[in-house]
Structure 1
Amino acid sequence: MTCVADDEDSPHEQRERAGEREDEQAQISSLLEDNAEDLYEHAPCGYLSTLLDGRIAKVNATLLEWLGYERADLVGRRHFSDLLTVGGRIYHETHFAPLLMMRGDIGGIALELKAADGTRLPVMVTSTVKKGRDGQPLLIRTTLFDARERRSYERELLRARKEADQERDRLQRLNATLQKTLLPPTLANVPGLDVSAYYHIASADEVGGDFYDLFPLAAGTWGLFLGDVCGKGAAAAAVTSLARYTLRAAAVYDPDPAAVLDNLNTVLNHEYNGTDPRFCTVVFGLLTPAPDRGGFQITLASGGHPPALLMRADGTAHYLPTPGGQLIGVLPDVHIATTTVHLAPGDTLLLHTDGLTEAHTATDADGRYGDEALLDFGRVLAPTTASATVDAVRDLLDTFGTGVDDDTAVLAIHVPRDAPPAD
């Protein structure tokens, strides 16, 4: 048996479908005819029309519902300013209304309305002066937007911002406290030496990884170091703490500068050889008096650290060569560069981290302060003292402003010309 499908509607079905379409169109037309008045009355915002003296001439249902009034309570009986709080009324009379009449329109003004039950309704107000054919003002039409959600959002935003500021202050205090624990409270007093140090914090929001120290070893011998750990924050602080105490302990065991840095390299490479390797640059020095010549002898060992700047008593300045020294903590076996120099009376030695030479400045072609600029800086200073050198570096860093994006530590040692012999 073969079945044949009827793809076309019957005449009766076609008439029914046409009737449904006509009924739907009639409903749409009816809604469109009522749409203008309905939109005015039940708009998502309040509408208000007033005479030039402020008397309310027309108000929509939305605003009446917000305020809890009947239409007869307002139209022809109240002024717009009557709906405002005391502060809003003063602002309306002294600023809003005069500016509106002068400009013809005004918008985005925050005011508060008083509801019939005494509660307050924050609104954003926009008003326009409507003119007649002769150009004379006739009415003022005002649109009001419910700002309760916005006000709530602003309060929440202010609360969140306040909490964020408090959390940032707490973090900065914590960072400052932690930073202090990573630096010596005081430097050792070395007879016959003038010593000064300074730590420049690039950002109070993060703990830096720079460190320094000067401490006694055996009788008549002192150790000093200055270094810079890769990175910032808590992880860098942990490495800084480990490096400081390892250097001190290693120097007691064997004060030879190369041996001290080799010991630190072994510790860091062992502790941080996984997926998050940590390393640092560091210079370690061994100070001993030179009674026959006056002043001190210092042996410096460098593990990838910027060279020390020596400013002589005769006004010259140059870097102490420590080429080829490798980063500490990267490889199991590391090459340590050493140099020995005599610090005569009047000489000053400056150790620094690369936050100084890497500072952004427009005076250099590559936008960095650079080694050559620091060398010129030393030549201008020489001869100088430790405290004068640190003060000059501090002033220099201040001139860079936000160009110093990395913490900077400096340690200066000076042999006074009239210093008594060291023990």
Structure 2
Amino acid sequence: MIVTEQALVPSDEEQRLAAVRRYAILDTPPDGAFDRVTALAARLFGTPIATVTIVDEDRIWFKAKRGLPEGVEQTGRVPGLCASAILHDTLYVVTDALRDPRTAANPLVHGEPGVRFYAAAPITTHDGHRLGTVNILDTRPRSFEEADLAALGDLAAIVMDELEMRRSATRTVALERELRARVEAERARLARLANTLQRTLLPPTLPEVPGLEVAAHYQIASADRVGGDFYDLFPLADGRWAFFVGDVCGKGSRAAALTSLTRYTLRAAATYDPDPLEVLKNLNTVLQHEYQDGDARYCTALFGLLSGCGGQEEVEVTLAGGGHPPAYAIRGDGTVESVHPAGGQLIGLLPDAQFAVTRLRLSPGDTLLLYTDGLSEARTPDGAMLGEGHLPDLLSGLAGASAPAVVASLRDLLAQTVQSQSDDTALLVLAVPAAGAATTTTATAAAAADRSPAVDRSPAADRSPDEPSPS
């Protein structure tokens, strides 16, 4: 009998080959699970040779083999015993290959390894495609009982179950990776949106104030959520400067809307009447009118005025507060004073909220720090909260430092507590240089402030990498 290539091609060959590719088994490394099948088959049936084969387009590839020479990884499909076996839905058995017309002319029978007995069970997919076979071979004729047929079929079913399980696991891993990639992409997109929105809620740069060093830092607790802290510094028409730091309740888009309303209301109110008490009262009225649906929206803030900048040795500060943590004056001699307008209430919560005001002077070498509660509520690695009681001692060591240096030190401190930090942090530092000390230049301030991935604000420190610096 002459075996032709066409005679060994199943009628569903195109779909069958697609199924072979589907299981991605070809040319994979040796595998213990399939090796155990061939070992079990050889031991169970007492044959010197057992194989697990996959029939490819033009070859028969051995996924596992026992009793074949080392280095034999595949053989041609024509002529081939396995290629003949996949033509059948049932087991394919040749008890004496020299006498069976299907195999009498096969070179594997007349040449090496001299096959006289061959039995194969098809490895069949759930949709009926035969990927290959589980085979047992002997060099002598032998009979094959009904129970043997069932056992060999069970081994082929075990191989198919293993392939299905691996395909399922591969698909699960691929799906998990795809979902993880989608989640990461969405998280990155939300982080970009949050960062873009956050930047619209902060001044793009801090202005240069005559006779002062100024620097700021903003750090959000979550990269994918917009924070509710805010700050600003801007000139008034009469030569004074206004500044504020605050924190709105909540997080996310609703907090962002409240932050935007608060920041621009404070700016507008200061332009109309810069008296700090009146500015906070104006903001309280706006928030009361804006949120009348029972959804309480409020904030805390310190609003201040700077007088005498650039024209006198001392700068006069008028500071009004509404429910916000105190500011700290770091004196040039190392003493630290809490600057807290006593009695100020939350802004926007009550229609007749009361606010308080205090005044102080900053002499050469003095620094004023304003911050939000992300600083005081940050925890050290041992779990202790920095708290108001610890801050004066920490700040005392910063006496005489430039505004950017104070920001850099506090930023480094926050970096050690960031894992425990649950709230955003805004810092605004105003410093009067010591007598004879030059005001920190814009470039120096920018370099000091640009060391953190968080949002720092020194004069001109927040240009994007593609934005040319001013000449």
TM bracket, shorter-chain basis:
0.5 to 0.7
2:396 aligns to what SS in structure 1?
helix
Residue 50 of structure 1 deviates from its aligned partner by 4.5
Asked if the contact 2:270/2:279 (under 8 Å) is kept, the reply is yes
Is residue 191–residue 420 contact of structure 1 (8 Å, CA) maintained in 2? no
Q: Is the 8 A contact 1:390 1:410 kept in 2?
A: yes
In 1, Cα distance between equivalents of 2:132 and 2:268: 70
Q: CA offset at residue 363 of structure 1?
A: 5.5
CA contact (8 A) 2:231 2:426 kept: yes
SS in 2 for 1:197: strand
For 1:82, the equivalent position in structure 2 comes to 53
What one-letter code is carried by the residue in structure 2 that aligns with 1:376? Answer: D
**Pair 1:215–1:76, CA change in 2 (3 A):** same
SS at match of 2:53: helix
Instruction: Select 2:368's aligned residue among 338, 342, 349.
Output: 349
Q: Within the alignment, does 1:298 sit opposite 2:317 as a pair?
A: yes
1:419 Cα deviation after fit: 7.0
Alpha carbons 2:365, 2:431 under 8 Å: kept:
yes
Residue 381 of structure 1 and its aligned partner are, at CA, apart by 1.4
| Aligned pair partner of 1:415 in 418, 423, 432 | 432
When the two structures are aligned, how many residues end up with a matched partner? 321
Matched with 1:285 is 304
> Is the Cα–Cα contact under 8 Å of residues 211 and 432 in structure 2 kept in the other structure?
yes
**Residue 403 of structure 1: SS of its match in structure 2?**
coil
Match of 1:384 in 2: 401
Q: Which residue pairs with 2:379 in the alignment?
A: 360
| CA-CA distance at 1:273 after TM superposition | 3.1
What secondary structure is seen at the aligned counterpart in 2 of 1:244?
helix
Distance 1:383 1:290 in 2: 18
Distance (Å, rounded) in 2 between the aligned partners of 1:276 and 1:92: 73
**What residue in structure 1 maps to residue 183 of structure 2?**
164
Q: 1:96-135, aligned counterparts within 5 Å?
A: none
Distance 1:396 1:92 in 2: 64
Distance 2:280 2:433 in 1: 29
Amino acid of the residue matched to residue 224 of structure 2? D
| 8 Å CA contact 1:192, 1:419 repeated in 2 | no
Amino acid at match of 1:82: T
Q: Is the 8 A contact 2:227 2:255 kept in 1?
A: yes
1:355-385, Cα deviation, whole Å (9 max, x unpaired): 0101123567xx3210011111111211322
Partner residue of 2:198 out of 169, 179, 188: 179
| Structure 2, unaligned runs of 5 or more | 1-32, 67-122, 134-154, 440-471
Amino acid at match of 1:242: L
* Number of the residue aligned with 2:413: 396
The letter of the residue matching 2:429 is A
1:310 lines up with 2:281 in the alignment: no
Equivalents in 2 of 1:307, 1:84: separation in Å?
Answer: 79
Determine if contact 1:313/1:383 at 8 Å carries over to the other structure: yes
- Alignment map for 1:318-329 (pairs within 5 Å): 318-329=337-348
Pair 176,56 (structure 1): closer, same or farther in 2 beyond 3 Å: farther
Compared with structure 1, are the counterparts of its residues 119 and 168 closer, same or farther at alpha carbon in structure 2 (3 Å cutoff)? farther
Cα distance, 1:277 vs structure 2: 1.1
Matched residue type, 1:406 = D
Any runs of at least 4 consecutive aligned residues in structure 1 with deviations exceeding 4 A, and if so which? 46-51, 53-58, 75-78, 83-86, 88-93, 113-121, 290-293
1:52 aligns with 2:55: no
Looking at structure 2, the residues matched to 84 and 347 of structure 1 have their Cα atoms a distance apart, in angstroms, of: 84
1:154: how far off?
3.6
CA distance in 1: counterparts of 2:420 and 2:170, whole angstroms: 40
| Structure that is richer in helix per residue | 1
Residue type of the alignment partner of 2:349 = V
| Paired residue type of 2:39 | L
Q: Residue in 1 aligned with 2:357?
A: 338
Q: CA deviation at 1:92?
A: 9.4
State whether residues 51 and 57 of structure 1, in contact with CA within 8 Å, keep that contact through their aligned partners in structure 2. no
Q: Which amino acid aligns with 1:276?
A: D
TM-score of the pair, normalised by structure 1: 0.68
Instruction: Show CA shifts across 1:93-149 (max 9, x none).
Output: 9xxxxxxxxxxxxxxxxxxx897968699xxxxxxxxxxxxxxxxxxx867442244
Q: Cα 1:92–1:151, aligned 2, differ >3 Å: closer, same or farther?
A: farther
Pair 82,54 (structure 1): closer, same or farther in 2 beyond 3 Å:
farther
SS of match in other structure, 1:189: coil
- The structural deviation recorded for 1:269 is 1.4
Q: Deviations over 1:217-253 (max 9, x none)?
A: 0232110001111110000000000001000000000
Q: Is residue 422 of structure 2 the alignment partner of residue 405 of structure 1?
A: yes
CA spacing shift, 1:118–1:247, aligned 2, 3 Å: farther
Match of residue 272, structure 1, among 272, 291, 306: 291
Query: CA RMSD, aligned part only?
Result: 3.6
CA 1:246 to 1:50, structure 2 compared with 1: closer, same or farther past 3 Å?
closer
Report how far residue 168 of structure 1 moved.
1.0
Q: Deviations over 1:165-196 (max 9, x none)?
A: 21111111100100111100011211100000
Distance in 1 (alpha carbons) for counterparts of 2:65 and 2:293: 69
Structure 1: give runs of 5+ residues left out of the alignment.
1-45, 59-74, 94-112, 122-140
Contact 2:207-2:234 within 8 A present in 1 as well? yes
Aligned residues of 1:348 and 1:415 also touching (Cα < 8 A): yes
